[in-house]
Amino acid sequence: MSRPDTTSHTILAESAYRDDRHLAARQSLYRWQQPSYDMPGLVLEHLPATHGVVLDVGCGNGKYLTRLRSQRPDLTVIGLDISAGIVANVGPPVVVADAARLPIADHCAVAVLAMHMLYHVEDVHAALEHAARVLAPGGTFIASTNARDDKKELDDLWAAAAADVLGVERGPRRLSLSSRFALDDAPDVLRPYFVDVRVLELPGTITVREPEPVIAHLASYRAWANAAGVPFDATLERARQLLDDMIDRDGAFRISCRGGILLCHTTEQRSAQSPVPG
């Protein structure tokens, strides 16, 4: 069952990703991760060595578009996103579109990207069916997401802060975006549509010595405050106090990251009808 608060077109386009502030806050936390990963660089490594069209579905603020266009001028890279606001400053060509209803012709792309976005799509299978449809035979599909236990220390921090605010022994955990398309079971979700499904795991540890990057990350979930189960601002402030105490005591706050990239292909000779998962 999908969570309507994390897949609502209205919330996504008009609040969560109305512009890139919240997305940038989540992206910026990885500046403190070791080892660090050049995600656009990893995508570039796995793109086919041929000219053609690449679709960046859920392109957001254009992090991948910018690098691909710069380093692969042989490719025509098109960004698609459900929010007109977040792509306002992204260079053309960009299209405002739903991943589950791509306005793209069949078999026209050599690659499709879906980077940290499939968990926002209400019907993930429809989005994958469209991705497979628009790919040329032998085309490349690249997605990314996080595992269920990714950043578990943030879950513990939020739950502790929420417990203090609510006056209970254990508060609700933070809203998890990745859980609807988690790295743990993503290969099984992808296999009905693609072949050669491989997982490139990207583990790491974020180490911060001041609370601001963590608080900015948690604050970026404000669009889903009604789903948080607690007074959002009060919980955020309590989390800051707890972070200050932990950093004073331990010298740093460490977050365990378990993300990854999924690398897939369409078959060389695809049938006219997309597979339907059983």
What are 17's two structure tokens? 């990703």
For residue range 185-228, what is the model confidence (pLDDT) as tens digits? 999 999 999 999 999 999 999 999 999 999 999 998 888 777 77
Q: Are 130 and 101 in contact (CB under 8 A)?
A: yes
pLDDT band at 269 (very low <50, low <70, confident <90, very high): low
Q: Which residue has the tokens 């990885």?
A: 30
- The pLDDT value given to residue 24: 78
For residue range 218-260, what is the model confidence (pLDDT) as tens digits? 998 888 777 778 899 999 999 999 999 999 999 999 999 999 9
Residue 29 has pLDDT above 50, yes or no: yes
Amino acid at 182: A
- Residue 80: phi, psi to the nearest 5? -130, 135
Q: How far is CA 226 from CA 174, 230, 232, in A?
A: 12, 8, 8
Which architecture, in CATH terms, is 4-265?
A: 3-Layer(aba) Sandwich (3.40)
- On the 0-12 / 13-18 / 19+ scale of CB atoms within 10 A, 276 is exposed
Q: Indicate the pTM of the whole model.
A: 0.90
Adjacent-strand bridge partners of 95? 80
For residue range 73-107, what is the model confidence (pLDDT) as tens digits? 999 999 999 999 989 889 899 999 999 999 999 99
Q: Are 253 and 202 in contact (CB under 8 A)?
A: no
Higher pLDDT, 228 or 148: 148
Q: Count other Cβ atoms within 10 Å, centred on residue 205.
A: 13
- Residue 191: phi, psi to the nearest 5? -60, -30
| Whole-number Å distance between alpha carbons of 168 and 189 | 38
